[in-house]
Chains A and B, each alone.
Chain A
């Protein structure tokens, strides 16, 4: 059972002193600190109602181990319960059950009906809640939530790990490595290694709040990882984090300039993206504000199209020329190509390698954060779960598997999904939605309506931007990454593996609930 590593009772949602201060360009600490949700009423699985006949004896404050009941220093009354933290009826067996302990019988526990209105098949209310709990506390959420799988009925949601009876006796958690080397070509370019086998996906300036983007850049710095510009250009405010920012070259070539290529440790070519495979990008005129227009070197208020595909690339030879161009402009950059998951995804991956790519980034069809036609999200290209194994096997057969890094994205929601992707044959993952959920996204999918995200995330509206704070975003993501890393280490330990690298392609450690699992 999870208990909290620090006194949550001192920090309630929305309290201004809850987030650490400091200039945004300073070193970013990897320390977990409480980062309570920014809304007053966080929605949890359970509701705790305190009746008016509460005598303010404070018994509940003493007893609850989850920070639900809070009485600030010097106050007479107990605060309205932070019931989103409550672990529900199972608490009865812990001996610390406030409902039974209250001498006045003033507390009532019930299920919160609003909870069930959250989420969808892929991101269930439990997964949303568990992600925001990790972002708040830096620790895994309690067992009252299903933290590992969604309810989509296929892919990751039906895969399970097969654990050995007991891990090797000499394996110690602290010796388990989660590091991921990104350059496997053995060429003259730097051997970049990131601390955790995932990094942040591209979200463009113009589609997402700059404060959220800075939070992503800062957590990348803290974990020696990466975030990516997306196709909206390279904001000046990213420059202090340039060693952790991937410059994306997309079909619109917005903001692609010599200096943005030269400062990047990794340059990513976005051929396609999973949410709208084979379709171009489209930024509505409303979102093309003066600052966005300046960044993209366009006219304010005009809808911006990124065509599909690269109009200069119609063959693998063209693709090679394309990579050569960037390789020449920046002789130290690693080259990554982001593609979606068509039938011939394995051939595409091989093509990327032979053209000189270090990273093959496969973006499956069910993920994505930006707006996309529903018809494309649902129907075009295959889910990532299928693509990983195909590509892995094909690269193995070609004898080049160890010369290239395969990154999977598009529906990777939890550290367990990361581990499943790796067991299927990827080296690591890129995440997107999970980070936004940590920042308060509830997947209402209305990112495109009117002024953009009403919760201040996928928006460039001046007033809505104010809803986020860079330090808070950073801390939420640092906490999330810490919790993920902890869960991943724990999983590797239970699997008896001393590094995440050792998990790659270990399909023998997986089972599928819809199969007889006998081959």
Chain B
């Protein structure tokens, strides 16, 4: 058995006070200055710190939104002058996909490295679009794995990247062909190319160092690499944006490169392997509606790895009514399975992977692994305000982060994700994430459950 893969976390406080959800406000003019003001009794010592904090430059207002919302002070105040409010800044965080709640949860994981835990059941919507219309399965009694993260049995989250043989051929008792090269990552998550507006200060150093520490791979543009290291290290995947005829020379000695899809892409792949037969080439394809057909074509022509890029909300590109990657991946996976070529290629999905559960769900739908970017920026405290994209001042001064701080926060987030992957795999009774690929039998889709229960009783679902 290989050594157990563990990601070590180190609690790392944020540099800026995170945007909180709830706050307590009072109408001071009615206050009777009670000797035993209810604020003193806050179990979370919120107001105990008030005096100290007021002297710092961190303002009072900034800070009242750290309330846990127990309402003790509000409900006990002698004059009933306290009330609870939702921080307007909290409401403004993120967007419909990267919701305020998701952002706060990501911050928590980046700070602590721990799985978010809470009491009192689930309070969210019954189901939702995309990944929110899938539930993963569990086994009551019979299952090979035990104990999830507290586990005594090893649950592997490793995946192999590269082309695989559909069958072996022997001659004279010897393997006739060399198996194509494979790379293994201990986590089914690699880091995608970080969009330009975030590549500031020590961000890229933090990202690449964190990738090395976790043991995963990171996609970098050629320019990013040349600035920093002339010879890309093993965990870097150079993205050759516009490779030309001299492709054979490109990508240095990198064992793994990524290229965009284009008509002559297979020739390009060949050229890139000319001097480096052990090199793996990934073809990045925008996930347009016809993508399944294109992927099948490329796999038949011998592609090693295909990277399907969705938009940041996990939607198809160039479509008025885009499908979610949930459906596109299922479609692509099934197309390949029907052609009998699914096992030959590695599928990477990116865009809209915002939480640990999305990793599991994307793999169930047919990806081998995923690539992420936005969650890492959230780990660095980004608020997704978009100011930097507009050339404005960043409220968290991302360009000033210390690389070590960035590494710790990213590693923490991945540690928390890893633990959640183990929890979900453990519950499903699956010991290897490799076995989860396309395993739709290990999950339940909203539309299937609805049809089998309510559809049977109430007929057609209204559209």
Are the C-beta atoms of A309 and B74 separated by less than 8 Å?
no
User: How far in angstroms is the closest Cβ of chain B from A369?
Assistant: 6
| A-facing residues in B99-155 (Cβ within 8 Å) | 105, 115-127, 134-143, 146-148, 150
Interface string of B44-85 (1 = CB under 8 A from A): 100000000000000000000000111110111110100111
A315 contact set on B, CB distance < 8 A:
141-142
| A-facing residues in B166-222 (Cβ within 8 Å) | none
Interface string of A456-469 (1 = CB under 8 A from B): 00100000100000
A441 contact set on B, CB distance < 8 A:
120
Instruction: Tell me if A348 counts as interface (CB < 8 A to partner B).
Output: yes
A40 to B150, CA, bound (A): 44
A89 to B78, CA, bound (A): 27
Q: Choose from A370, A455, A512 the contact partner of B458 (Cβ within 8 Å).
A: A512
A43 contact set on B, CB distance < 8 A:
71, 74-75
Are the C-beta atoms of A383 and B126 separated by less than 8 Å?
yes
User: How far in angstroms is the closest Cβ of chain A from B39?
Assistant: 13
Are the C-beta atoms of B121 and A515 separated by less than 8 Å?
no
A510 to B454, CA, bound (A): 10
A441 to B429, CA, bound (A): 35
Interface string of A306-326 (1 = CB under 8 A from B): 011111011110110000000
Instruction: Tell me if B452 counts as interface (CB < 8 A to partner A).
Output: yes
Output the nearest chain A residue to B429 by Cβ-Cβ distance: A278
Interface string of A371-415 (1 = CB under 8 A from B): 111111111111101100110000000000000000000110000
The residue among B72, B117, B452 with the most chain A CB atoms within 10 A of its own CB is: B117
A366 to B68, CA, bound (A): 22
Are the C-beta atoms of A450 and B43 separated by less than 8 Å?
yes
B454 contact set on A, CB distance < 8 A:
512, 514-515
A366 to B458, CA, bound (A): 23
Stretch at the interface among B12-20, B243-251, B404-412, B418-426: B418-426
Total interface residues on A, CB under 8 Å, equals: 98
A385 contact set on B, CB distance < 8 A:
453
A454 contact set on B, CB distance < 8 A:
43-44, 68, 70, 72
B117 contact set on A, CB distance < 8 A:
371-374, 448
B331 contact set on A, CB distance < 8 A:
none
Instruction: Tell me if B262 counts as interface (CB < 8 A to partner A).
Output: no
Instruction: Tell me if B428 counts as interface (CB < 8 A to partner A).
Output: yes
Output the nearest chain B residue to A387 by Cβ-Cβ distance: B453
Instruction: Tell me if A516 counts as interface (CB < 8 A to partner B).
Output: yes
Instruction: Tell me if A10 counts as interface (CB < 8 A to partner B).
Output: no
User: How far in angstroms is the closest Cβ of chain A from B115?
Assistant: 5
Q: Choose from B69, B83, B137, B453 the contact partner of A390 (Cβ within 8 Å).
A: B453
User: How far in angstroms is the closest Cβ of chain A from B314?
Assistant: 16
Q: Choose from B71, B424, B457 the contact partner of A442 (Cβ within 8 Å).
A: B71
Are the C-beta atoms of B427 and A279 separated by less than 8 Å?
yes
B78 contact set on A, CB distance < 8 A:
40
Output the nearest chain A residue to B134 by Cβ-Cβ distance: A379
Q: Choose from B22, B71, B118 the contact partner of A447 (Cβ within 8 Å).
A: B118
User: How far in angstroms is the closest Cβ of chain B from A471?
Assistant: 21
> Assuming A366-B122, A371-B118, is B138 touching A277 (CB within 8 A)?
yes
Interface string of A477-495 (1 = CB under 8 A from B): 0000000000000000000
Instruction: Tell me if B37 counts as interface (CB < 8 A to partner A).
Output: no
A305 to B148, CA, bound (A): 12
Instruction: Tell me if B267 counts as interface (CB < 8 A to partner A).
Output: no
Output the nearest chain B residue to A467 by Cβ-Cβ distance: B72
B69 contact set on A, CB distance < 8 A:
117, 442, 444, 446
Are the C-beta atoms of B453 and A386 separated by less than 8 Å?
yes
A451 to B126, CA, bound (A): 31
> Assuming A307-B150, A517-B459, is B115 touching A375 (CB within 8 A)?
yes
Output the nearest chain A residue to B361 by Cβ-Cβ distance: A379
> Assuming A40-B77, A272-B140, is B124 touching A373 (CB within 8 A)?
no
Are the C-beta atoms of A455 and B72 separated by less than 8 Å?
yes
A124 to B459, CA, bound (A): 29
> Assuming A277-B427, A368-B120, A369-B120, is B126 touching A309 (CB within 8 A)?
no
User: How far in angstroms is the closest Cβ of chain A from B8?
Assistant: 19
User: How far in angstroms is the closest Cβ of chain B from A410?
Assistant: 8
A516 contact set on B, CB distance < 8 A:
458-462
A516 to B454, CA, bound (A): 11
| B-facing residues in A144-175 (Cβ within 8 Å) | 152-155, 157-158
A9 to B119, CA, bound (A): 36
B456 contact set on A, CB distance < 8 A:
389, 519
Instruction: Tell me if A204 counts as interface (CB < 8 A to partner B).
Output: no
Instruction: Tell me if B289 counts as interface (CB < 8 A to partner A).
Output: no
Q: Choose from A80, A117, A445 the contact partner of B119 (Cβ within 8 Å).
A: A445
Interface string of B288-311 (1 = CB under 8 A from A): 000000000000000000000000
Are the C-beta atoms of A370 and B74 separated by less than 8 Å?
no
A381 contact set on B, CB distance < 8 A:
135-138, 427
B444 contact set on A, CB distance < 8 A:
343, 382
Are the C-beta atoms of A280 and B122 separated by less than 8 Å?
no
Q: Choose from A373, A450, A518 the contact partner of B420 (Cβ within 8 Å).
A: A373
A204 to B285, CA, bound (A): 52
Q: Choose from B80, B125, B146 the contact partner of A308 (Cβ within 8 Å).
A: B146
Output the nearest chain A residue to B457 by Cβ-Cβ distance: A507
A370 to B121, CA, bound (A): 8
The residue among A40, A280, A376, A443 with the most chain B CB atoms within 10 A of its own CB is: A376
A158 contact set on B, CB distance < 8 A:
126
A318 to B85, CA, bound (A): 53
The residue among A309, A458, A511 with the most chain B CB atoms within 10 A of its own CB is: A309
User: How far in angstroms is the closest Cβ of chain A from B271?
Assistant: 44
Instruction: Tell me if A53 counts as interface (CB < 8 A to partner B).
Output: no
A369 to B123, CA, bound (A): 12
Instruction: Tell me if B449 counts as interface (CB < 8 A to partner A).
Output: yes
User: How far in angstroms is the closest Cβ of chain B from A451?
Assistant: 6
User: How far in angstroms is the closest Cβ of chain A from B36?
Assistant: 13
B413 contact set on A, CB distance < 8 A:
none
| B-facing residues in A322-380 (Cβ within 8 Å) | 339-340, 342-343, 348, 365-380
Instruction: Tell me if A42 counts as interface (CB < 8 A to partner B).
Output: yes
Instruction: Tell me if A55 counts as interface (CB < 8 A to partner B).
Output: no
Are the C-beta atoms of B121 and A411 separated by less than 8 Å?
yes
> Assuming A280-B150, A390-B452, A444-B69, is B136 touching A154 (CB within 8 A)?
no
User: How far in angstroms is the closest Cβ of chain B from A317?
Assistant: 11
Q: Choose from B72, B357, B453, B458 the contact partner of A511 (Cβ within 8 Å).
A: B458
A28 to B139, CA, bound (A): 41
Q: Choose from B71, B121, B136, B459 the contact partner of A519 (Cβ within 8 Å).
A: B459
A150 to B360, CA, bound (A): 29
A507 contact set on B, CB distance < 8 A:
457
Are the C-beta atoms of A377 and B44 separated by less than 8 Å?
no
Are the C-beta atoms of A154 and B125 separated by less than 8 Å?
yes
Are the C-beta atoms of A455 and B140 separated by less than 8 Å?
no
Are the C-beta atoms of B116 and A374 separated by less than 8 Å?
yes
Instruction: Tell me if B455 counts as interface (CB < 8 A to partner A).
Output: yes
Are the C-beta atoms of A377 and B138 separated by less than 8 Å?
no
A113 to B25, CA, bound (A): 12
Instruction: Tell me if B86 counts as interface (CB < 8 A to partner A).
Output: yes
> Assuming A370-B119, A445-B119, A454-B72, is B357 touching A272 (CB within 8 A)?
no
Binding site for B on A (CB under 8 A): 39-43, 80, 113-114, 117, 119-123, 152-155, 157-158, 271-272, 275, 277-280, 282, 305, 307-311, 313-316, 318-319, 339-340, 342-343, 348, 365-383, 385-386, 389-390, 410-411, 433, 436, 441-451, 453-455, 458, 464, 507, 510-512, 514-519
Binding site for A on B (CB under 8 A): 22, 43-44, 68-72, 74-78, 80, 83-86, 105, 115-127, 134-143, 146-148, 150, 355-357, 360-361, 420, 423-424, 426-429, 441, 444, 449, 452-462
5 A-B pairs whose Cβ atoms sit less than 8 Å apart in the complex: A153-B125, A282-B150, A375-B355, A378-B122, A454-B72
Listed from nearest, the 7 A-B pairs whose CB atoms lie closest are A278-B427, A154-B126, A447-B119, A120-B123, A278-B138, A39-B75, A515-B458
- A41-B75, A117-B69 given; 4 more Cβ-contact pairs under 8 Å: A340-B138, A373-B117, A454-B70, A511-B458
